[in-house]
Amino acid sequence: MITTAVQEREHYLNESYGIKSWLLTKDHKRIALLYLFTVTLFFFLGGAFATMIRIELLTPRGNFVSNDTYNKLFTMHGVAMIFFFLIPSIPATLGNFFLPMMIGARDLAFPRINLLSWYLLVIGGLFALFAMLAGGVDTGWTFYTPYSTTYSNSWVIATALGIFVAGFSSILTGLNFIVTVHRMRAPGMTWSRLPLFVWSNYATALIQVLGTPVLAVTIILLFCERVFHIGIFDPALGGDPVLFQHLFWFYSHPAVYIMVLPAMGVISELVSVFSRKRVFGYHFVAYASMAIAVLGFLVWGHHLFVATQSVYAGLVFSFLSYFVAVPSAIKVFNWTATLYKGSISFATPMLYAFGFIGLFTIGGLTGLFLAALGFDVHVTDTYFVVAHFHYIMVGGTIMAYMGGLHYWWPKITGRMYPEGWAKLSALVVFLGFNLTFFPQFILGYMGMPRRYHVYPDEFQVLHVLSTAGASVLAVGYLMPMIYFVWSLKYGAIAPANPWGASGLEWKTQSPPPLHNFDETPVVTEEAYDYSTVIGEEVQIG
């Protein structure tokens, strides 16, 4: 056990003890850790469902579970992962912890609302968990009508209620972040000096406040339809089931940008630090985040191409969907240009960043395939779509999340993680991921429908490969759980700035003091200015 000879400093983790000091905290850093704990639980819950899905898909017949059960497995996998892990993940953990620090503030604008946001996520999660344990919900995470309103005999309302409550968690976080960035920046911290992680979380927050309320009202309508049969989505009364899809996807498409924008923000930070170079085209990257937030609201109809949406609307949405790829591509080009002639180090966070850039690019390009009306007709609702979004969500967002966790772990905990094991897990994750999801592109192209557990024999080889990959991926995710916890007690003590990074969060202690800075910083330099940084050497393996 490594002990420190220095008398232990006071910081945010040891300034008070006891369960009340955590459950009633107003400190954004503690709230970030509360979120970290919660979203990690839901990640493993969603992973458990994924495991059951992949085991079932090893064989072409429905051997292990019934049709109804299988429907519940993929539904609950989606609900857990999307609403209770991916949406909150980066903003509510890393964003909560570092957004105030990066702008030189003592906390968010509304600390108690921040705590309320966490409680809302937990309450929503408990509703969803109850639904899962009581028998599950089988409508797909998309809750399409009329199945969800009229025919499903599963726990639709409990789940929808959980999502409804969690939605308010998301809205309040977004509101908090927007006000914080506008009104709490330290002297000298102009918009053009903001780290790109802040820009990304700001753009994300805009989506959260503008999109999530529509999901909320959609769930209310779903509830009314299911309980009171008001007919709003029921053709028998003149209602239109496709109206549900419009309302649902108006939120759920921008939601995918809620899930990926903060990840892109992390990547901007990592690529810069580990090439020791300013992000190339800083303003382009910043504005691209805003463009993604705005354009992301104009493309939802691409989920309705085969849903009796009018052909004209299909044309418009297809065209706009191509547009939204442009700012994402701009970011990828700028990250790549940042690497050029940079002084690159291959620390674990950088490995995850590289993984992100490659895998997100593949995911994004396949999104363009799907945006083409003609092609979409053939591959919609197949594993091609499943592979596409998993490349972005897992190959993209989760990789960035892991990269960010590793990068900021020393600051959050005051400890270094073990670099050797971390590099190994990054590699395992990368290999496992590709083995899991690349075969799914082929499966989808060949016609394997999504949400089916019975399939033609000739698809079995690819499914077996995919399941094998999933087991490797699972190992890759379990390893950090183990060594992160290990590091809390046995990890090397982290200095204030182990990576030699720029940014206000690195100018304060690890772990930070309660109010982040001993004095309010005054900012005089641009973001990513490495000429003024003194990094403290920690042995990076």
Residues that bind another protein (CB under 8 A): 6-7, 9-10, 15, 105-111, 171, 175-176, 178-179, 182-184, 209-214, 216-218, 220-221, 224, 228-232, 236-240, 242-243, 246-247, 250, 297-298, 300-301, 304, 308-313, 316-317, 509, 513-515, 518, 520
Is 233 or 384 the residue whose CB approaches another protein more closely? 233
Is 177 or 483 the residue whose CB approaches another protein more closely? 177
Residue 538 CB, shortest distance to another protein, in Å, is 18
Is 127 or 297 the residue whose CB approaches another protein more closely? 297
Dihedral (Cα; 480, 40, 199, 359), 10-degree rounding: 60
* 526 φ/ψ angles, rounded to the nearest 5 degrees: -70, 165
Is 20 or 183 the residue whose CB approaches another protein more closely? 183
Q: What is the DSSP letter of 302?
A: G
DSSP result, 445-513:
HHTPBTT-S---GGGHHHHHHHHHHHHHHHHHHHHHHHHHHHHHHHSPBP-S-TT---SGGGGS-SSPP
Q: How far apart are CA 243 and CA 380, in angstroms?
A: 19
- Do residues 75 and 51 make contact, with C-beta atoms less than 8 angstroms apart? no
Residue 141 CB, shortest distance to another protein, in Å, is 19
Cα-only R_g, the chain = 23
Residue 255 CB, shortest distance to another protein, in Å, is 14
Q: What is the DSSP letter of 151?
A: I
Cα distances (Å, whole numbers) of residue 475 to 37, 278, 471: 19, 35, 6
Q: How far apart are CA 219 and CA 237, in angstroms?
A: 19
Is 130 or 375 the residue whose CB approaches another protein more closely? 375
Residue 511 CB, shortest distance to another protein, in Å, is 12
How far from chain centre, in Å, is Cα 186? 28
Is 134 or 306 the residue whose CB approaches another protein more closely? 306
What distance, in Å, lies between the first and last C-alpha atoms of the chain? 20
Is 35 or 517 the residue whose CB approaches another protein more closely? 517
Residue 206 CB, shortest distance to another protein, in Å, is 8
Residue 96 CB, shortest distance to another protein, in Å, is 14
Q: Which residues contact 374 (CB under 8 A, 6 or more apart)?
A: none
Residue 217 CB, shortest distance to another protein, in Å, is 4
Residue 279 CB, shortest distance to another protein, in Å, is 26
Q: How far apart are CA 180 and CA 386, in angstroms?
A: 36
- Do residues 275 and 343 make contact, with C-beta atoms less than 8 angstroms apart? yes
Is 127 or 250 the residue whose CB approaches another protein more closely? 250
Is 313 or 365 the residue whose CB approaches another protein more closely? 313
Residue 396 CB, shortest distance to another protein, in Å, is 26
